[in-house]
Structure 1
Amino acid sequence: KNKGIFLKSGMEGKSVDGTRYNANVHPNVVDPQTFFDHKGKLWMVYGSYSGGIFILEMNPKTGFPLPNQGYGKKLLGGNHSRIEGPYISYNPETKYYYLYLSFGGLDTAGGYHMRVARSKNPDGPYYDAAGHNMLDAKGKDGSFFDDKAIEPYGVKLMGGYSFASQSEKGTGYVSPGHNSVFYDGKTKRSYLIFHTRFPNRGEEHEVRVHRLYMNKDGWPVAAPYRYAGEPDTHISAAAVSGTYKLIQHGKDITATIKTPKNIRLNNDGTISGEMTGTWTITDSSKARINLNGTNYDGVFLKEWDSAREKEVVTFSVLSGDGEAVWGVK
């Protein structure tokens, strides 16, 4: 039943908190997600651009917010930062709440991509891998779409990329984002669901699903290829060795498609090619990779490559300050 409006952006007249609506500080009331925390409390996180991302504690019987919260508690954003589509997922293994967000603009020229921060509490404060408080992720006063101000914040899961060179066919995404996350309590698997555009296909977009894995520090890393029903399997060091195309997702907000570098994971645990370093694999297929002096932790995987129509070894790793790197054999 339509129970009426309980929250609005207030583009005309006064805002929910009784003051005149100011888009620099007040939220754009869109992109809501409701969820129960691990103690059974109901919450709604929402917001886009404008004044930032906010969270409200909700009444599970009525579906309305508990009284006297106004717009709720601010989690991040402000001054028209290009941040939207919040989604919070609790992981019972790490005991963290993960706040997934999209930065940038969703069209092919917008540099849309997904980031994540985490907290021990559903209503924050949320921090990224580098220790930044996400409340500080906002544009400068008086600014509009100040991407440089927010680039340092959040772990960038993936942005626009292509594993193909200019003369090859291959898979890649343009402006992947606005995700949700499904955690399966029975299998303890997590899945990242999002929409994306594609290189040389304009604004056409489709939904994709990728597996999410937790690295040794409890941060999610996304599988490089879309989920195709692959089982969790042990991967040997011999299977890992070989030549890879490597994507560095970086921390920038850009419409430039990241293109691959060529490296080789050698049998002796060294890495050669356009980047150098070392690699190791544990019995649980966990990956530790050092590239040009920086350590990255994540997983080695066996995935289906739809472009080559065969199973391939991949890796997805994250640096200590939250820079994601993918490799495809």
Structure 2
Amino acid sequence: MKKVGALLLLSSALLSACSFENSNVKTVKQVLEKPQFENTSVHDPSVWLDGNEKYIIGSHLQFAKSKDLMKWETLSESVASSQLFEDVFKEFEEEFSYAQTTTFWASDIIQLEDGRYYLYYCLCEGSSPLSVLGLAVSDDIEGPYEKVESFLTSGRGRSPDGQPYNATIHPNAIDPHVFYDEAGELWMVYGSYSGGIFILPLDKTTGLPTEETYGTKLLGGNHARIEAPYILYNQETMFYYLFTSFGGLDADGSYNIRVARSKNPDGPYEDMNNQDMIDAKGEDGTIFDDISIAPYGTKVLGNYLWQYSENEEYGYVSPGHNSAYYDEELNQYFILFHTRFPESGEMHEVRVHALLFNADGWPVIAPRRYAGEKIETVSYGDVQGDYLIIEDQNTIVPDTIVSQGITITNKKISGDYSGKVELGEQGLATVQLNGETVNGHFLPQWDEYTEKQTMTFTGLTPEGKAFMMVRK
């Protein structure tokens, strides 16, 4: 992974020093053509790059690939249709019996130093933490894979520490993400609800745990609705970013993506308010205690609705279970997640958005799905116009945030918010909104709803409140 340099991170002081007037700076003018999207419905998408192809694997052995992150070819829609295993029901008969299920949940693929592909699978019925997590290997990313070992279970008997399994403190062994740290060591972060999110060291040669343990706890407990951990390292900021999803995954479950960061892969992780995420858990004796966990983690994406007019409303419902990666060829970060949509029930699809890092070194998500745009310097003339604006809150509620309206004229903001704009290089910006400082990025993007190129902004206040803007 090569360094991103000033493209992705500037200190606040440098951002101020780089502020400029439109007349003094020559800006890059990219022209975005109408993209061709081919959608896929992989739930819980975990990404892996293999040559020019980007692969995503999710729950139910759903599997898809793409060359451009816009047009996806669905390779498998279910366990029954999957070609990842030659005879999945026979090979995993014992695991299906233990987990009391006939399906797989969120999976992950990584290529280890021997060149082979290591698929980390999990099985779980869903209403209990009876789960199995294990490893299968193939010489081809598209399979077939051969089971190596189911190495971690939860839900009954004794835990690896010798104590009786306790779902309030021990993990539900699902949702694995396997990654290398900067020292070349291999880790697996995993967990959902129950006792929380854990991280476990793995052997770099075998891909299996180095010892019999659940590993180190990072956050969660007492059945708090926290799951889908994914860890991304940024060489420029030198932080590990832990993404998790809070809330329930269904359309009225208020799923949302949150992030915390650490200098070490195994933590401790803190959010923008310097809160240790180990304290993010439900109160003793509770189940799904959203009130206790809502203040923790920096929320970067939740339910929202862009209201262009009374009859034109677009947005996301319960977006979550993301993966993320740095694309060396494009020199950009991306985040991939599944989402549901307003008035569409439980129908879901994968969305890919540019992932940017603001002047404080925190990730923010571009408001529109990726359509080939590149990060570039913008001028005050570029960002003028009428915008829709979303102000998010660290809540876990099914309510959908509806956009309001503002206008940017020169440096001034008017409308439902008042304030000003200060621009820096490569789209970095500081925006004042009703007295709050928002550090983020302006980014030219394609708006698939209005079918035209537009300007967007995404950012966070120092306290971790997220704002998004889209020019109408």
Identify whether the pair has TM-score above 0.5, normalized to the shorter chain: yes
Which of the numbers 162, 180, 193 marks the counterpart of 2:323?
A: 180
Pairs within 5 Å for 1:64-213: 64-68=208-212, 70-164=213-307, 167-213=310-356
Partner of 2:413: 271
TM-score for both structures, normalised by structure 1: 0.96
Query: Is residue 210–residue 226 contact of structure 1 (8 Å, CA) maintained in 2?
Result: yes
Structure 1 counterpart of 2:434:
292
Q: Which residue is equivalent to 2:425? A: 283
Retained in 2: the 8 A contact 1:170–1:307?
Answer: no
Distance 1:166 1:253, change over 3 A: farther
Letter of the aligned partner of 1:236 in structure 2? S
1:149 is matched by which residue type in structure 2? S
Q: 2:447 aligns with which of 283, 295, 305?
A: 305
**The structure with more helix, counted as a fraction of residues:** 2
Corresponding residue for residue 7 of structure 1: 152
Q: For 1:247-297, what per-residue CA distance to the aligned partner results, in whole angstroms no more than 9, with x for missing partners?
A: 012110111111011111222x22211111221112322110111111010
Q: Distance in 1 between matches of 2:232 and 2:188?
A: 12
Distance in 2 (alpha carbons) for counterparts of 1:2 and 1:276: 59
Partner residue, 1:56? 200
For residue 27 of structure 1, the aligned residue among 146, 167, 171 is: 171
Which one-letter code corresponds to 1:204 in the other structure? M
- Alignment deviations for residues 21-64 of structure 1 (CA, whole Å, 9 cap, x no partner): 11100000000010000110000000000000000010011221
| Larger-Rg structure | 2
CA RMSD of aligned residues (A): 1.2
Shift of 1:2: 2.2
Q: CA deviation at 1:165?
A: 5.8
Matched with 2:36 is: none
Picking from 367, 370, 391, the partner of 1:227 is: 370
SS in 1 for 2:151: coil
- Say how many residue pairs are matched: 326
Structure 1 pair 219/92, CA: closer, same or farther in 2 (3 Å)?
same
Amino acid at match of 1:111: S
Contact 2:301–2:319 (8 Å) recurs in 1 = yes
**Rounded Cα–Cα distance in structure 1 between residues aligned with 2:311 and 2:462:** 33
What is the distance in 2 between the residues matched to 1:28 and 1:97?
Answer: 23
Q: CA deviation at 1:233?
A: 3.0
Q: What amino acid sits opposite 1:317 in the alignment?
A: G
1:138 positional shift: 0.5
Contact 2:375 2:426 in 1 (8 A): no
Separation (CA, whole Å) in 2 of partners of 1:150 and 1:188: 35
CA distance in 1, matches of 2:374, 2:227: 33
Task: Please say if residues 165 and 259 of structure 1, whose CA atoms lie closer than 8 Å, have aligned partners that are also in contact.
Answer: no
**Structure 1 segments unaligned to the other structure (5+ residues):** none
| Contact 1:76–1:137 (Cα < 8 Å) also in 2 | yes
Question: Which residue identity lines up with residue 254 of structure 1 in the other structure?
Answer: V
**C-alpha separation in 2, matches of 1:93 and 1:186:** 17
8 Å CA contact retained: 2:375, 2:427: no
Corresponding letter in the other structure for 1:309: E
Identity, % of aligned pairs? 50
Q: Deviations over 1:121-144 (max 9, x none)?
A: 000000111101000100111111
Structure 2 counterpart SS, 1:238: helix
Q: Match for 1:244 among 378, 387, 397?
A: 387
SS of 1:149's partner is: helix
> 5+ residue gaps in structure 2?
1-145
Residues 1:18 and 2:162 are matched in the alignment: yes
How far is the alpha carbon of 1:166 from its aligned partner? 6.9
**1:327 aligned residue:** 469
Q: Which amino acid aligns with 1:300?
A: F
Structure possessing the higher relative contact order (Cα contacts under 8 Å, 6 or more residues apart): 2
Instruction: Tell me by how many angstroms 1:168 deviates.
Output: 2.7
* Aligned amino acid, residue 22 of structure 1: N
Name the amino acid aligned to 1:50: S
Counterpart for residue 214 of structure 1: 357
Q: Residue 232 of structure 1 aligns to which amino acid in structure 2?
A: I
